Amino acid sequence: MQPVYITGSSVGSSPWKLANWQSNGLQQFGFAVLTSTGGSSGTIDVTLEDPTLVYPNPNSSTPTAFAFATWGASNTFLTGFSSFSIAAYRLTISTLSSAGAKVTLVTLQSGIG
């Protein structure tokens, strides 16, 4: 298994990162949000739609984002989920503690690597 890192230093959403759609069985993820300073907050969003648009949603040109988990203030470890599949995930920063602060989402999906 190889971790995937998404780092942000401004308010907004990162590009989508694809999950392994070809994994056997249920998808299993671990998420951790690391902050360089306290006081930042945001969400981890997931989507069931293909953000690459190879298999586009016939009703929308952008994937629908669902807030999977909320984080804030300090480093946060979120337990994995395995009861449903997702197509992709992203980091959304709502509040940044200070100029130059960084937030990193670390993701580990079983069956990758």
Domain range list for the chain: 4-109
Q: What is the CA radius of gyration of the chain?
A: 14
DSSP β-bridge partners for residue 71 = 42
Is-contact 5 104, C-beta < 8 A?
A: yes
pLDDT of residue 36: 79
Q: Which fold has domain 4-109?
A: Jelly Rolls (2.60.120)
Burial state string for 65-92 with b = 16 or more CB within 10 A and e = fewer than 16: beebbebbeeebebeebeeeebbbbbbb
- Positive or negative, the CA dihedral 33, 35, 38, 43 is negative
pLDDT tens, residue order, the chain (113 aa): 689 999 999 999 999 999 887 776 677 888 889 887 778 899 999 999 999 999 888 988 899 999 998 888 777 777 666 567 889 999 999 998 887 789 999 998 876 55
pLDDT of residue 6: 96
